[in-house]
Amino acid sequence: MRILIYNQKGGVGKTTTAINLSAALAVEAQETTVVDLDPQMHLTAAIAGTGASGTGSAADWISGKPVQPRPVAGTPGLWLVPGDGDALVGRFDDTRFLQPSAGWTIMDAPPGWSATLGQIASLSDLVICPLEPDFLGLNGLNQLLRRMSEVGFDRDRLRILIARYSNRLAVHREVRGKLIDRFGSDIVLPVVIRSSVRLAEAPGLGQTIFDYAPRSTGASDYAQLARTLISQRSLARSNGRPRT
């Protein structure tokens, strides 16, 4: 299962989701590789640590070169392909995407758009769009949908993840309701990622939320998200569908 975490709008929790969804899948005994495609390389800075073995970078991975991902300390079963700032600049080789993949691959995308990113999106099993539930977030989602239509992306493979959610805010409840009305409960994930100071603090210590605050709401939400995706994947396989 290959999942691209993408939204054209910055600051919506893409990297937070890539890190902690990957860790949650690993905690559920799902072999997972997380790939840092963002030139800012915040994901790499957050979980790479020091002295981790491995060869190659996201640029090598995109171009089809052999890569040995780094193990992420403290999370067995989680591996990192680190960023290098130029992952989406060079040649894209889709061979890696056309081969079967036994585990999970989570890709952290930059907020911008490029032809290479469009190719990756079209070949991914799912594109998860983290979205802060406000009206600026809705505008960013409309831009995303236009980009997706340009590359012939099947909307059935889109999943909207409501992040930084507070049930106390009327606008959050209203926007969530509008999204469900417009896209349905299949595309709008049933899990929301609640606002959490712990989620913001963990990267500064080089930890996932499961290392830093395993009993926090952030850990609970991402664990539930991982279990939801595992369940959807199992259901799709039992129904004979190649994609969820």
Query: What residues are paired with 159 via a beta bridge?
Result: 128
Kindly report, residue by residue over 43-59, the tens digit of the pLDDT: 999 997 654 577 899 99
In a domain, 91, yes or no: yes
CB 105 within 8 A of CB 62: no
CB 116 within 8 A of CB 74: no
In a domain, 152, yes or no: yes
Give the CATH number, domain containing residue 113. 3.40.50.300
In a domain, 215, yes or no: yes
Quote the pLDDT of residue 48: 76
User: Does 63 score more than 70 pLDDT?
Assistant: yes
CB 6 within 8 A of CB 144: yes
CB 22 within 8 A of CB 34: yes
In a domain, 56, yes or no: yes
- Full-model pTM: 0.92
- Can you give the residue range of the structural domain that contains 215? 2-238
Mean pLDDT on 109-134:
90
The amino acid that residue 55 corresponds to is T
In a domain, 244, yes or no: no
Strands across the sheet with 188-194, in order?
Answer: 70-71, 78-81, 32-36, 104-108, 2-5, 126-131, 158-165, 188-194
pLDDT band at 239 (very low <50, low <70, confident <90, very high): low
Kindly report, residue by residue over 175-229, the tens digit of the pLDDT: 999 999 999 988 999 999 999 999 999 998 989 999 999 999 999 999 999 999 9
CA angle 34, 220, 229 (to 5 degrees): 50
Count: domains in the chain: 1
